[in-house]
Amino acid sequence: MATTRTATTQWKGALLDGSGTVSLDTSGVGTFDVSWASRAEQANGKTSPEELIAAAHSSCFSMALSHGLAQAGTPPQSVETKADVTFQPGEGITGIVLSVRAQVDGLSAEDFQQAAETAKANCPVSKALTGTTITLNAELLS
């Protein structure tokens, strides 16, 4: 069954001196301030489209990896994924680095690396971001 999730941004002013808010409408968990400065300079307590993409990508990848490992008979004890989304003004998003650390009993480092690569390729957010270079660093914890 398909689902649709919704967020709404209200923006006032021009790009460089304007500001806005983005609300997570479906979940209702919050409204967050956003500005050009928070995107291109320092966050200063505000979010950016890239931070929201990083949140979406790290959570999607963690779910995909956990699911793949469980289907292979080696469910993880823990998965921690950090997504670094780089934004270059004038160019756009220039890359994403996924760094994952997981504890998975009974799995070799090689099998973990393969599972992580498969999750990266098949995570729906990764698929949506195919126009961007996505790099993966995977570490199996003992």
Confidence category of residue 122, pLDDT binned at 50, 70, 90:
very high
Q: What is the 3-state secondary structure (H, E, C) of 69-113?
A: HHHCCCCCCEEEEEEEEEEECCCEEEEEEEEEEEECCCCCHHHHH
Same domain (yes/no): 53, 34: no
Give dist(CA 102, CA 142) in Å, integer: 9
pTM over 0.85: yes
Same domain (yes/no): 35, 60: no
Same domain (yes/no): 113, 74: yes
**How many domains does the chain divide into?**
2
Residue 53 domain-assigned? yes
Quick check: 45 pLDDT over 90?
Answer: yes
Supply the CATH number for residue 130's domain. Answer: 3.30.300.20
Same domain (yes/no): 32, 77: no
Name the residue range of residue 94's domain.
49-140
Residue 2 domain-assigned? no
